[in-house]
Amino acid sequence: MAEYDMNDPTDLDIMRGQFNMISADEWEEYIEVAEERQIGYKNVNILKTAQRKAGIAKYLSPKVINWVLSLVDQLDTEPDEEE
């Protein structure tokens, strides 16, 4: 995942755009994978928060958006045991 500057409005817009492209159904899939991999209670809860706010990034802080995007990147890159 790219490093974003939390003080740069352009970077914040890019992060919000990436967050808004993920649908609630896709968040549900990420939550299921996160629970299977047991990545931690706080991480699963923040993914559930992201699911509730799917498509409306303006209600989340830049720090939270960065956190969930890094979790998405982590869940996408780690090999899935089922495959």
**What span, in angstroms and rounded, lies between the C-alpha atoms of 8 and 14?**
10
**Amino acid letter, 9:** P
Output the pTM of the full model: 0.84
**What span, in angstroms and rounded, lies between the C-alpha atoms of 55 and 47?**
13
Is it the case that residue 23 has pLDDT exceeding 70? yes
Q: Count CB-CB contacts under 10 A for residue 28.
A: 14
12-35: average pLDDT: 93
60: its two tokens = 């989340």
pLDDT band per the 50, 70, 90 thresholds, residue 6: confident
40: its two tokens = 């931690």
Is it the case that residue 77 has pLDDT exceeding 70? yes
- Residue pair 75/33 in contact by the 8 Å Cβ criterion: yes
